[in-house]
Amino acid sequence: MKPKIKDVAKVAGVSPATVSRVLNNRGYISEKTRENVYKAMKDINYFPNDLARSLFSKRTNLFGIIIPTINNPYFGELVFHMENICADLGYKVLLCNSLNRVDKEKKYWEMLVRNQVDGVIVATHNRGLVDNQEQYNLPIVAIDQYLSDKIPIVGSDNYGGGQLATNYLLEKGCRKIVHFNGPLDLETPANLRRKAYEDVITKAGRVPITYEIKDVFSQKIQLDVIERLFAEHPDVDGVFTSDDLMASTLLEAANRKGKDIIIVGYDGASTTRLLLPNLKTIQQPVQLVAETSIKALVEIVEKGKLESMPFETKLPVKLIT
Amino acid sequence: MKPKIKDVAKVAGVSPATVSRVLNNRGYISEKTRENVYKAMKDINYFPNDLARSLFSKRTNLFGIIIPTINNPYFGELVFHMENICADLGYKVLLCNSLNRVDKEKKYWEMLVRNQVDGVIVATHNRGLVDNQEQYNLPIVAIDQYLSDKIPIVGSDNYGGGQLATNYLLEKGCRKIVHFNGPLDLETPANLRRKAYEDVITKAGRVPITYEIKDVFSQKIQLDVIERLFAEHPDVDGVFTSDDLMASTLLEAANRKGKDIIIVGYDGASTTRLLLPNLKTIQQPVQLVAETSIKALVEIVEKGKLESMPFETKLPVKLIT
DNA sequence: CTGAAAGCGCTAACAC
DNA sequence: GTGTTAGCGCTTTCAG
């Protein structure tokens, strides 16, 4: 049986209350008893039960992080940083891969509530769940996504990124510049990448050509769209894709076809940079996104509201060529 | 204030015990009251407090997963699958990125114990921590790593993979085949990759040439070693690296130097395959590793011991060219 | 400075 | 079938 506070008390010859005080550095305790208690804890190999403490304190120091999938260079890096920062701040991370499936995500929300998490980071496109969030009444910070006008957002400068990418392609002398984007019905700020493309292209006196990839995580759907692109615009010589994985797939397909296309992706995660160092991309400040969002969440949790930062934060991106 | 069982009871006009019974489907309850209770829960938006339940039941349905870093194609995919399977089985995942740092890992262990996790999956090289694990007295399953003779291991067939890779390079007619491996002082089964290389090369009547990369996660150290390789063996024409990231770095360097080298990596994670589809590699059955290890852990947790599988499981790998 | 006792939210005997 | 009560491990008034 695991030793409990009572056991420590017995060994140290004091009352449970005293042990608790030592544990929490609360109230006045004589040096002598404090030592005794510490020694007793060591001796019987005692570790406090955080469940019991949390039950009382109503704080778990637990955050839920909901993302589509951790098996992705960007989210992998994002969660990596988040978890790191959390560990430093004394928070623990419950990982939730929703796969962008509403049913899964709903279960996760309920699970998180039941586990009394102190707050949640959401980076999924969860339409139709907003009411839930309100009902749960939890501190939440959203990553690059509008959930409700009460939930703060942290993300990158999507519009700026789209401009950077498109302008780069123009400068490089591309004649026919196309854009690939993810599902549009999701109303995420990421759609601003496309908007920027359209604006820049239009301003340059050209006609925007865009393709929508309904399911970003399906390789097959991506290939179908690429096929269509090559059929409809064989003379394409520049593409801005709204993420690096699309860019990579396209790059590969273009190589196979012997096509010379300048491709600019989006995200610039470290793994992608490592494996595909030559891929041009708009790099998001992942670590900064992690820091900013976790800091915001902690503030809401600990102070009850967000003070030190705006409701929506747009972090600067960088063109990498 | 969050509603509790007592509130539900009041609304439903029954006692807390009855509500609890409904919640747990325990004992006999009349259809009538059951309905009433459900309705009350809906009405006041009640969610059970799993902390309190766990405190009583001594089961949290929580697993800790300790890995070096989630920001890595292989571990990202591994944890993705693990979390998925856990979710299906009703377990939750506490994510721990140890960065292979003993101090961090030690903290994680203690944290997991205090949080009363039901079990732990460890995929880190944590020398000097074994005694801790025994002291904590927790169900543990290790991924590709010897911890103690009591902790079951799940991994891939490292030796077989090493053979596959080396034989492939021989068959391709490589004259000078070199091997890159990670830190050797760690005594992991992964060292069998190198052993297999040495055996195959020796049997072919050649002399093994190996380079050790002391820190797999440092790009700089990798580049230094590559530099050394090119200086010492400019005629190298085949390399088997003990992971794909090394392979990628080497590939890049070789391209820069205009060297024609056949490279075979190890891992074959989906992200790597996506970004670098032409990279030859020994692919680990990630999903199977995840399934096997989680299933083993669940068995230990729920039945008190491992019955359905051997103490050490070596899952088959595949050569991808 | 320290102990006794009540309570965090829930469950399981034990009664009726 | 349902209610009363004690207790999971811990913290914190309130006494002393």
Q: Is the CB of B48 under 7 A from strand D?
A: no
Helices (H), chain A: 5-12, 16-24, 31-44, 50-57, 73-89, 102-114, 130-136, 158-171, 191-203, 219-232, 244-257, 270-275, 286-303
Q: Is the CB of A28 under 7 A from strand C?
A: yes
CA distance B19 to B40: 10
Cβ <8 Å between B95 and A110: no
Q: Strand C: list positions under 7 Å from protein Cβ.
A: 1-5, 7-13
Record the tokens describing residue A101, joined without a space. Answer: 């499936």
User: Residue ranges per domain, chain A?
Assistant: 5-56, 62-154+286-312, 158-283
Q: Is the CB of B114 under 7 A from strand D?
A: no
| Per-residue pLDDT tens over the stretch B62-71 | 999 999 999 9
Within 8 A of A54 by CB-CB distance, chain B residues are 51
pLDDT at B42: 93
State how far residue B209 is from chain A, nearest Cα, in angstroms: 25
Q: Is the CB of A24 under 7 A from strand D?
A: yes
CA of B30 to C1' of D1 (A): 7
What does the buried/exposed string (b/e) look like for A9-45 if buried means 16 or more CB atoms within 10 Å of the residue's CB?
bebbebeeebbbbbbeeeeebeeebbebbbebbeeee
CA of A9 to C1' of C14 (A): 31
Q: Is the CB of A276 under 7 A from strand D?
A: no
Q: Strand C within 7 Å of which CB atoms in B 148-167?
A: none
Residue B248 has pLDDT above 70, yes or no: yes
Q: Is the CB of A55 under 7 A from strand D?
A: yes
pLDDT band at A127 (very low <50, low <70, confident <90, very high): low
Mean pLDDT is lowest, of A271-280, B86-95, B133-142, for B133-142
pLDDT at B129: 66
> Other CB atoms closer than 10 Å to residue A308's CB: what's the count?
9
CA distance A215 to A181: 10
Within 8 A of A79 by CB-CB distance, chain B residues are 70, 95
pLDDT band at A132 (very low <50, low <70, confident <90, very high): low
Residue of A nearest to B113 (CA): A47
pLDDT band at B148 (very low <50, low <70, confident <90, very high): confident
Residue of B nearest to A222 (CA): B274
User: What contacts B56, CB < 8 A, 6 or more positions away?
Assistant: none
Cβ–Cβ under 8 Å, residues B102 and B128: yes
Name the A residues in 209-268 with CB < 8 Å from any B CB: 219, 245, 248-249, 252
> DSSP labels for B288-303?
HHHHHHHHHHHHHHHH
Cβ <8 Å between B51 and A73: no
Cβ <8 Å between A83 and B96: yes
Say which of B45, B83, B115 has its CB closest to residue A97: B83
Q: What is the mean pLDDT of chain A?
A: 94
| Per-residue pLDDT tens over the stretch A37-65 | 999 999 999 999 999 999 999 999 999 99
pLDDT at A91: 98
Q: Is B52 on the interface with A (CB under 8 A)?
A: yes
Same fold for the pair B5-56 and B62-154+286-312: no
pLDDT at B186: 74
Task: Sort B103 into a burial class: Cβ within 10 Å, 0-12 / 13-18 / 19+.
Answer: exposed
Which nt sits closest to A15, CA to C1'? C3
Q: For B158-283, which CATH class? A: alpha beta
Residue of B nearest to A247 (CA): B275
CATH topology of domain A62-154+286-312: Rossmann fold (3.40.50)
Region of residue B27 (phi > 0: left; psi between -120 and 50: alpha; otherwise: beta): left
CA distance A199 to A221: 26
Q: CA quadruple B172, B178, B181, B185: dihedral positive or negative? A: positive
The structure's pTM equals: 0.96
What is the CATH number that goes with domain A5-56? 1.10.260.40
What does the pLDDT average to over A113-119? 97
| Per-residue pLDDT tens over the stretch A54-111 | 999 999 999 999 999 999 999 999 999 999 999 999 999 999 999 989 899 999 999 9
Cβ <8 Å between A54 and B51: yes
pLDDT at A119: 97
State how far residue B293 is from chain A, nearest Cα, in angstroms: 18
Vertex A213 angle, CA A211 and A215, to 5°: 170
Q: Strand A280-283 relative to strand A318-320: parallel, antiparallel, unpaired?
A: antiparallel
Record the tokens describing residue A106, joined without a space. Answer: 């709903």
DSSP code, position A185? G
Best mutation target, B115, B243, B270, to test chain A (most A CBs within 10 A)? B115
| Per-residue pLDDT tens over the stretch B115-144 | 999 999 999 876 666 666 677 889 999 999
Q: Is B94 on the interface with A (CB under 8 A)?
A: yes
User: H or E stretch including B272?
Assistant: helix B270-275
CA distance B99 to B68: 4
CA of B56 to C1' of C8 (A): 12
Say which of B50, B97, B135 has its CB closest to residue A80: B97
pLDDT at A188: 86
Q: What is the mean pLDDT of chain B?
A: 94
CA of A296 to C1' of C15 (A): 53
User: How distant, in Å, are the alpha carbons of A73, A114, B244, B250, B315 from that of B222?
Assistant: 21, 46, 12, 8, 28
Helix (H, G, I), strand (E, B) or coil at A120: strand
Which nt sits closest to A21, CA to C1'? D11
pLDDT at A260: 94
Cβ–Cβ under 8 Å, residues B84 and B93: no
| Per-residue pLDDT tens over the stretch A194-225 | 999 999 999 999 999 999 998 888 889 999 99
Within 8 A of B223 by CB-CB distance, chain A residues are none
Within 8 A of B249 by CB-CB distance, chain A residues are 274
Say what angle helices B158-171 and B191-203 make with each other, to 10 degrees: 40
> Other CB atoms closer than 10 Å to residue A218's CB: what's the count?
11
Which nt sits closest to B55, CA to C1'? D8
Say which of A77, A95, A275 has its CB closest to residue B83: A95
